[in-house]
Amino acid sequence: MSEALAWLVATFVTLPIFTFYIIYIITVKTTKNKKKSLKLAVDVSACFFIIAVYFIAYEIWSKSLLWVIIIFILIVAMIFTIIHWKVSDDIQFGKLLKGIWRFNFLLFVIFYLVLSAYGLFISIYLVT
């Protein structure tokens, strides 16, 4: 049982797009609400994209860049907080956190795709 769980977690971390798709399909089938399902899939799979970016960067450069990822997320949070404060004059904490988390999802999907392509390109041209 523990091997199956380890395999499942490893698959979700290695292929976060698969995680996103599975969560979306399961929630669409259960709730029949595509918008709510998409938001839930984004919220859950964002964590897997962040972890995947960390491991891809570690494989490419053989250095832990966790501190860079954390600082990046904090900078995004600060920028979002300032913009939210300027626009609405009052900070709605729940709305702010959702915005930060979903924006980080978009950024880390882009990072995941770029780092995957870069890692593939480097591995092909370094081997040959």
pLDDT in tens, 18-45: 999 999 999 999 999 999 999 999 999 9
pTM over 0.85: yes
Number of domains in the chain: 1
Give me the domain span that covers residue 102.
2-127
The string of pLDDT tens digits covering residues 71-123 is 999 999 999 999 999 998 888 899 999 999 999 999 999 999 999 999 999 98
N-to-C CA span, the chain: 41
